[in-house]
Structure 1
């Protein structure tokens, strides 16, 4: 026991020397601390007190937080990520402060006095955009998302950002760190800049069924069966139809539509029917925006989204032509079936001349991805 005590005492001296000696391994600050953490060392209260007494608050905040989180990485079998965590850029560290604040419901990492959560959200989406998907997930997890999104200053910033660009990261290890530290957060898969991925991999990373998709399934079932919307009491509205419109007014529209794309054809068609008269222009504008439309095309071409009814319904809403008579004039189309095949043709950037409506290729695609009675409607 005496030998063990001596070893512990010596290593603790080295540990504290490394923390506060500015000349200690200048090329790798706090290298002994990282080494200890990589071997499963858990920082103690005494360690934190020592750091607090001898360091500036900014340094104390970083070392205490990262040391605590490092043990999680060690327990997850990834001690190799601890050095990456300590050597990360400032914006990555501060995005962790944001997530920690939201999940713990305390603003101890920040000095805002008024509109604290709005300030934290605006700061994150402005300055830590590379890691925003985790900050957004934390906002939703802690129940503050709807409150923040309703505020015009934040909403304007959020709606203006390129959501697809948020999924393109430069550092795979940073993503792995955040996924391991915060497994409770629902975030999409990412793409690494410069790395080629298949169409199916792209689609799988974009379309993931969420709790919102499950909610839409329940509401669609309730509307179809003309039953009460059981299990959706937290959504404003008396009937399932009213609850759908309430969600449309409450949620970001791109979030609403992306969740809808993950449904089967029947459920999504029912939900869209509720929006036809209520928000037709909004739906069409968002679908054909620079963000939603390419994702939909990837999903359809990869087969991840097997729901062409979503696309066809929107065309029928009148995005290109508002009446059946106009369809006849512009495309010499004489039936709803031909109109739907024409939509499919246009979606894949094909012309009627090069790939006519009688194309068996188009018919095969349509019949595989649509309900059996789709073209009989």
Structure 2
């Protein structure tokens, strides 16, 4: 019976490689596999149970609201204001605009929850400015592709909600745990930009003299970041103090952005309509992936595939360090052929029990999985963020953008080593 699981797993990989949406592929293979293992009635019953059990989870209601919040923020002009503030304060440094873009992406990620949205929005603003100041396009596109990944780590993060649903881990704790790692990775990225700009000034571009921007302008520009700080602080202050749940915080965030848009007159009826339509489409896609993933994992479990893989890994008798190294390498390989959700659906149900056997904290493991999966967003051939940035800088070859991402991939791997050695980097706020 186990061989059916291997056939189903290979069939899913083939469907994804052929360009079939991951959610549809999971549904087709899961239902077909359940029908073969049992019968068609069993498969239909399982699908009904999956739709009902997943669709009635209260935390799932947060998904459309967080997506909607990110879409609304995209239309408010907050992103441009964040970059303006960061460049006023940091533009005088070597590679100052690149450093400013990292922290602007971190700020935008703190209220958008999406990596591609962060890369798309900030890239369209920052890359023309970096081009104007003579920055090398390898550094400019590399830093924007990589800094965009902060959108799925710094909460609210759609992928952390997804992991929480897969493993029944507290989404609130995952959100709180993502704050320090997100900030530290942003600092690592900024240090990499600074180092590259000092070593190779042709990549760092021209920098403004420190006196080019007055202290009054710098201080006045801080008002631009107040909306982001207010939304972020209210959402996570409420979560940290237990005032509201992640789902309630998502609704609160949408209301806060709508109020800001009304006060600044930055949201039109057309923008709100477009945001609602996109949120509905993204939520439907995510729900299909979640339900399809449940059916697929149930099929694998019934064939004994999951148990056989777990048993194989257990037989290797890996230590904690060996397990982390092996799983990191696994994700680096999978990132070449699968998207973010595909990686989590296929690996977390297998790896999560093993991590628990090794005594790894489920919240720490969630942050770890998201960080190593981030690397797949900027590595060939399916680096989604690289293709997003390529739409902004079409004259820059894809190979050059991927090369520009390499130092930041090293930075992410460095942070993985740091959090593996000192888990409290992730768990301090949670504990």
TM-score by length of 2: 0.20
Higher alpha-carbon Rg: 1
